[in-house]
Amino acid sequence: MQKQHLIVLDLDGTLLRNEKTISNRSKLALAKAREQGHLIMIATGRPYRASKMYYEELGLTTPIVNFNGAFVHHPLHKDFGTFHSPMDLRTAKTIIETCEAFRVQNIMVEIIDDFYLRYHDEVIINTFNMGQSPVDYGNLHLILDENPTSILVHPHDHHLHDLRQLLKESHAEVVDQRVWAAPWNMIEIVRSGLNKAVGIQKVANYYSIPKERIIAFGDEDNDLEMIEYAGLGVAMGNAIPELKNIANTTTKSNEEDGIAIFLEDIFNLK
């Protein structure tokens, strides 16, 4: 019997193919790994409402890391606890003011599974929120009265660099920011010191799994800490160069069943 491992999956660009589905080969490999006694979990920048269907599709029974570590919880067992680390409301409002000065295309503020939009936008609602409607939209300064989990900013492409610089100079101590990959130039802002590794550590402690038995798969800059933290950090073939540089190894891309190929090999799942 293999010692129990914790297998951590990023969603977009990693487990999910480009059309946002999980391949049959990936599903089969993950099911076989679970039969061997290994634990499978998701660690994503997405909110729970936009990752729940994949959690259910894989039949998972583990905690999940959402918002890159700002929200860590167990959908099925309350005894795990809920770890929500939102940013300060005053900071959030200052950031929103900065973004308004740049006349950004839109701002989305998320508080766990509720979200608020600066401007009503069907594309954002359908792309990021599975068709779920915002609680409200309009002047976020007036609407918001709770500490937000995350702020997503959709700047004009030519403002992306300048806006990021300004946010960094003004708020680096209190918030961390990431940029999403094309085609969406989105800036994602969460409280500082949060990342997927922070959430995974809580889950590993809960199951008493040492770091050397954690295998993590990722492709983007929000996976850097997790790939570095895991005993075995695996970059996808389509991953950014920075991630490949720090990963222990690289597998095939998300379109080529990279996760399945790696797990079949390492756990002899043939």
Q: Average of pLDDT values for 11-26? A: 96
d(CA 59, CA 9): 14
28/162 same-domain check: no
43/167 same-domain check: no
167/206 same-domain check: no
Spot the catalytic one: 10, 176, 219, 223.
10
Asked if residue 228 belongs to a domain, the reply is yes
Residue-wise pLDDT tens digits, 27-42: 999 999 999 999 999 9
Domain boundary among 191, 219, 240: 191
Asked if residue 239 belongs to a domain, the reply is yes
Q: Is the pLDDT of residue 131 over 80?
A: no
d(CA 112, CA 199): 15
Per the DSSP assignment, residues forming a β-bridge with 235 are 218, 250
Question: Average pLDDT of the chain?
Answer: 93
Q: Which domain holds residue 163?
A: 89-191
Asked if residue 70 belongs to a domain, the reply is yes
Number of domains in the chain: 2
Asked if residue 1 belongs to a domain, the reply is no
d(CA 183, CA 172): 26
The closest of 213, 214, 258, 212 to 235, measured between CA atoms, is 258
Selected residue with higher pLDDT from 131 and 262: 262
Is 176 noted as a catalytic residue in this protein?
no
CATH number at residue 164: 3.30.1240.10
d(CA 155, CA 152): 10
Q: Average of pLDDT values for 94-123? A: 92
Residue-wise pLDDT tens digits, 80-108: 999 999 999 999 999 999 999 999 999 99
